[in-house]
Structure 1
Amino acid sequence: MEVSFTPIFVVHQHFAKRAGLHYDLRIEIEGVLKSWAMRKEPPITKNVKRLCIPQPDHDLSYADFEGEIIQGYGAG
C-alpha cells in the first residue's frame, strides 16, 4: 500500500514586541515545523529573494494557531 504525504506549509503574519510586524515561514520536516522569520512580506513573483532568519522548531500544532501568545516562547 502506498501512503501519500503532503507536508504542512504555512506563512503567518505575526507581531512581536521586539521584532515588530513580520512573517513566520513554517515547513513540516521530520515531524516538526522548521521555522524562519521574514521582515518583508513573502514575494508573489518568481526570483524575488527574502532574508529568512532561522527560528527554533515548532510543534505541528502551530500550523493552525490563531491568537496571542501572552508571555515567553514566541511572544518576543
Structure 2
Amino acid sequence: MLKDGANEADIITYLQDKNIPADEITLTKVAEQILQTPPEQGYLTISNALQWRLQYQRIVTLADGISGIEKIVSYNKPQ
C-alpha cells in the first residue's frame, strides 16, 4: 500500500476492513507508525477469537524456514 502512495486514512480503513480489534485512536497510532517505519514483507497473524485457528494454522504448518520467524509450535497431522 505504501508503494502505491497510501496515506494515513487509507491504512486506517485497511486495518478496519481486516477487523483489527482496536479503537480509532489506536488505529491512528498504528497507521502513523506504519508510515514512519514501513514494515518489511513478512508473516503477521492478528485475528479475532473465532478466526484464530484458521489464521495460526497457516504459520504452524509452514514447511519452509522463514528468516525472522522462530517456530515454537509444530503440528503433526494424524495419520
Normalized against structure 2, the TM-score is what? 0.25
Higher helix share: 2
Higher strand share: 1
Normalized against structure 1, the TM-score is what? 0.26
Q: Greater Rg, structure 1 or structure 2?
A: 2
